[in-house]
């Protein structure tokens, strides 16, 4: 940890949080165990500043869908780099990528681009307000750092009270709660914005019912597919579950780590961006655009999402067997959906077990957050064996050393 620690000290001097992303910062990692800085990646491997090698199950917080340092994508980026990055006028690449998205995604008839997921979720909210001439929105899930959303979370510092009041949350799979909110003020809401699926699947036609309610109460249905896009299905969770929203937002995995996001939707609605101000200097930056085109080509030709699905199902099955064979299944469970499973503890079991397990996974050189975030490079057979071996070790170590007295849970995160 020598270099990691030295760099961390220096970063803290110059960078508040010592990170640009909360979920990559020291606040969510283990002191003296998790690496603080990574310097390179290849496939599903990453190296920290002390040259320790990890199998990465964070995948950059989900943008990495193929793997680090993908030669095919690098080649496309370098080819474009030699022509130019950011120009003084739009380029035809914007239209090329828009056409590809419109062909793929059920709700897409027109497209605008941003750099981060938050750019396009904020644009979607402004669009819904302009389109419906209403101010309030209902949400379910995480949607980024902008005032309209973050004001309703624990991290609302700096957001005016007036803004906070415009947003209401509802619980996933609770259609009655959503209907109650809408019924109380039938003409108040501009949009229902939601992650179509997170770590539990929709029950009892939940998404279809949300679609119906949004029509009944005249608000736009916005699917935030920043996580699910290019992971659950190439055509989005909207295709996978057969529910087409009015507007949807994509980002993360769409360019295997290059910074790009997209808002797509029906022409009649999207046309309003002619007058709504959604404009950024780097919105048409070409390297990310060609990376997105190449990523989509790669995902299609190598059937990446299917491979990850198969891999995940094997992994879930094998981990469940490890739990059973080592008499750990009364403590741990593997829960969630195939594209993002996670460890949990059984009812009544001390949650510190989970923290201890995560710590032991990292000690075994599996870099992991709350869930297994997969990429295509994980699906290699040799790597699969290594992954299982490391998980088995971490589970056994957690069982044999269940003295958690020194494990502290701080208010601002988890550290050992
Ligand atoms: C579902 C969802 N929406 C929006 C965002 C915001 O994206 P970004 O961090 O790229 O602004 C995230 C980021 O984690 C997300 O998970």
Residue 61 CA to ligand 1 centre (angstroms): 9
Tell me what the mean pLDDT of segment 5-33 comes to.
Answer: 91
Asked whether 146 and 118 are in contact (CB, 8 A), the reply is: yes
Check whether 20 has a pLDDT greater than 60. Answer: yes
Q: How far is CA 258 from CA 20, 77, 106, in A?
A: 16, 10, 24
Instruction: Indicate if ligand 1 lies below 6 Å from the C-beta of 229.
Output: no
List the domain boundaries for the chain: 2-69+303-415, 71-301
Whole-number Å distance between alpha carbons of 150 and 350: 30
Instruction: Indicate if ligand 1 lies below 6 Å from the C-beta of 195.
Output: yes
Residue 350 — very low, low, confident or very high, per pLDDT cuts 50/70/90? Answer: confident
Instruction: Say how many C-beta atoms besides its own lie within 10 A of residue 107's C-beta.
Output: 23
Instruction: Say how many C-beta atoms besides its own lie within 10 A of residue 387's C-beta.
Output: 22
Tens-place pLDDT, residues 22-48: 999 988 888 878 899 999 999 999 999
Whole-number Å distance between alpha carbons of 400 and 280: 54
Whole-number Å distance between alpha carbons of 143 and 122: 8
Cβ neighbours of residue 360 closer than 8 Å, sequence gap 6 or more: 393, 394, 395, 397, 398
Residue 227 CA to ligand 1 centre (angstroms): 7
**What is the CATH T-level fold of the domain 71-301, as seen in this structure?**
3.40.640
Check whether 170 has a pLDDT greater than 50. Answer: yes
The dihedral built from the CA positions of residue 64, 66, 71 and 73, taken in this order, carries a sign that is negative
What does the pLDDT read at residue 250? Answer: 98
Higher pLDDT, 306 or 408: 306
What does the pLDDT read at residue 412? Answer: 43
Tens-place pLDDT, residues 71-84: 999 999 999 999 99
The CATH code belonging to domain 2-69+303-415 is 3.90.1150.10
- Whose tokens are 């039938």? That residue is 186
Tens-place pLDDT, residues 86-120: 999 999 999 999 999 999 999 999 999 999 999 99
Instruction: Indicate if ligand 1 lies below 6 Å from the C-beta of 248.
Output: no
């Amino acid at each position: 940890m020598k270099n990691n620690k030295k760099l961390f000290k220096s970063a803290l001097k110059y960078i508040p949080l010592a990170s640009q992303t909360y979920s990559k910062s020291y606040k969510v990692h283990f002191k003296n165990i998790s690496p603080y800085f990574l310097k390179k990646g290849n496939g599903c491997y990453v190296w920290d500043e002390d040259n320790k090698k990890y199998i990465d199950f964070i995948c950059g917080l989900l943008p990495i869908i193929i793997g680090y340092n993908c030669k095919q994508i690098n080649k496309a980026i370098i080819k474009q780099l030699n022509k130019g990055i950011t120009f003084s006028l739009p380029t035809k690449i914007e239209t090329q990528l828009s056409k590809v998205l419109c062909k793929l995604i059920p709700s897409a008839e027109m497209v605008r681009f941003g750099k981060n997921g938050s750019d396009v979720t904020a644009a979607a909210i402004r669009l819904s307000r302009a389109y419906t001439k209403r101010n309030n929105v209902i949400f379910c899930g995480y949607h980024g750092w902008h005032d309209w959303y973050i004001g309703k979370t624990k991290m609302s510092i700096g957001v005016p009270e007036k803004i906070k009041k415009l947003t209401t949350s509802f619980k996933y799979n609770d259609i009655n709660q959503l209907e109650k909110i809408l019924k109380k003020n039938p003409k108040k809401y501009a949009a229902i914005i939601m992650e179509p699926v997170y770590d539990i699947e929709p029950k009892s036609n939940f998404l279809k019912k949300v679609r119906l309610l949004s029509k009944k109460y005249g608000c736009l249905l916005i699917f935030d597919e920043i996580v699910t896009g290019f992971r659950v299905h190439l055509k989005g969770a909207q295709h996978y579950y057969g529910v087409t929203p009015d507007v949807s937002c994509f980002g993360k995995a769409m360019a295997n780590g290059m910074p790009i996001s997209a808002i797509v939707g029906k022409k009649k609605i999207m046309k309003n961006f002619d007058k709504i101000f959604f404009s950024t200097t780097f919105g048409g930056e070409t390297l990310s655009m060609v990376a997105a085109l190449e990523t989509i080509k790669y995902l299609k030709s190598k059937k990446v999402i299917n491979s990850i699905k198969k891999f995940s199902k094997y992994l879930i099955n094998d981990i469940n067997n490890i739990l059973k064979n080592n008499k750990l299944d009364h403590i741990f469970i593997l829960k969630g959906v195939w594209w993002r499973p996670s460890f949990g503890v059984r009812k009544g079991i001390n949650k510190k077990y989970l923290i201890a397990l995560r710590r032991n996974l990292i000690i075994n050189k599996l870099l992991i957050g709350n869930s297994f975030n997969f990429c295509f490079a994980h699906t290699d057979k040799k790597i699969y064996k290594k992954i299982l071996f490391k998980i088995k070790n971490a589970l056994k170590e957690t069982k044999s050393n269940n003295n958690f007295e020194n494990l502290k849970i701080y208010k601002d995160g988890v550290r050992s």
